[in-house]
Structure 1
């Protein structure tokens, strides 16, 4: 029963458990939507089911958090099930705080963006990524790449540099893997008119790659021009 459990991160496991206990999704939908794994109509979902069964989560618990308070369940549960419920509670609290911060609903726009769940995780990154991809219509801001697994929530001021800007949507741009890497390494930035501004490291080949690229604006939360200026001065000169 533990053939698959160790293949997934703690965050992936918590997403599976949330989808079952709170959202009431089927094993097959969880396996397809949450884990991104094949889940055929006949027999699909057994990997998601194994994860749930490992934590003693069976069919009678599907959607239970729609009607039962998680604190009540924690108080009246035991063993590995209560342990995962405690971790899920912390995960849901952080997830909620991150969503409020991204939408500017917290007083200072600052939340604890790291949580210890066996290993330190950047709990807000996935939430911010989902938001950024949505406002850029799931397309790179500089090209036609529209495959989610090739798109990056690219920070203007890096995550590690400034905690206060981590979940600021104006500090992020949706870029494909190539343009994200070029931006991150300082080969280019964007000027106050959101036009390509080459960095000193950009040679003729890089210039050709970026030639005629035009920035496609998101539906809201345009990149902060001051942050773009900081990016250029810090990484492109």
Structure 2
């Protein structure tokens, strides 16, 4: 069982545990939605079950964090269950901090050792994506695609390049997968009035794809025009 748990990242394991203890999702739904593994009606969900059992989480704990305080549970827990609750609490604290940072851009990450930096970064990416999709009303800023699994939180200055602006909502735009790829590869950017500005690589085909597209501004935190200038000068020329 431990070998099976070790196949997954810390972030995946915490999401599985959170989905069970907080959201009360079924083993099958967690396995399909979070782990991306097959979960047939007959015999599905055993991978999820093995992960939960590794942390001594059984059916009586399903949805328990929706009604019980996590600090009280930690006080009375032991073994692997105690350890995973400590990490889940750190996960909650990181989520809350990231949400505050996205909305106010004035809080720095604390040095929590319970969860790894990789997990913290993933929490930040996930929370930023949630926020960006919300302020763009779950629709691409340049077309009418409104399917969440086709929408990208597209960074103006890439995540890997500018650590300071990673969680800056004005450094992100909600784009469909097609427009995101064109933007990321420098085929176009946005100008002073959020008009389409074509990059040097944009040929007649690309121009025709984007012809007539107009930028739909978000409810708040419109893209930073200075960052857009950097994007155009760096990736589009």
Please list the CA deviations of residues 169-227 of structure 1 after superposition, one character each: whole Å capped at 9, or x if unmatched. Answer: 11110112222122112221001211110112222332222222221222322212222
Task: State the distance in 2 between where 1:134 and 1:98 align.
Answer: 16
Task: State the distance in 2 between where 1:182 and 1:112 align.
Answer: 36
Aligned residues between the structures: 235
Change (3 A) 1:116 1:202: farther
Give how far 1:118 is off: 5.6
Task: State the distance in 2 between where 1:149 and 1:69 align.
Answer: 33
2:135 maps to 135
Give the superposed CA RMSD.
2.9
Task: State the distance in 1 between where 2:7 and 2:209 align.
Answer: 37
Aligned positions of 1:178-193 closer than 5 A: 178-193=178-193
8 Å contact kept, 1:28–1:44 = yes
8 Å contact kept, 1:140–1:176 = yes
Change (3 A) 1:86 1:116: closer
8 Å contact kept, 2:90–2:112 = no
Change (3 A) 1:119 1:192: closer
Question: TM (normalized to structure 1)?
Answer: 0.83
Asked if 1:205 is matched to 2:199, the reply is no
Asked if 1:224 is matched to 2:224, the reply is yes
Asked if 1:16 is matched to 2:20, the reply is no
Task: State the distance in 1 between where 2:66 and 2:208 align.
Answer: 54
Asked if 1:88 is matched to 2:88, the reply is yes
Change (3 A) 1:36 1:109: same
1:48 maps to 48
Please list the CA deviations of residues 6-54 of structure 1 after superposition, one character each: whole Å capped at 9, or x if unmatched. Answer: 5543222212211222333443554455446666777654443332222
Secondary structure (helix, strand or coil) at the match of 2:153 reads strand
Question: TM (normalized to structure 2)?
Answer: 0.83
Q: Give unpaired runs (5+ residues) of structure 2.
A: none
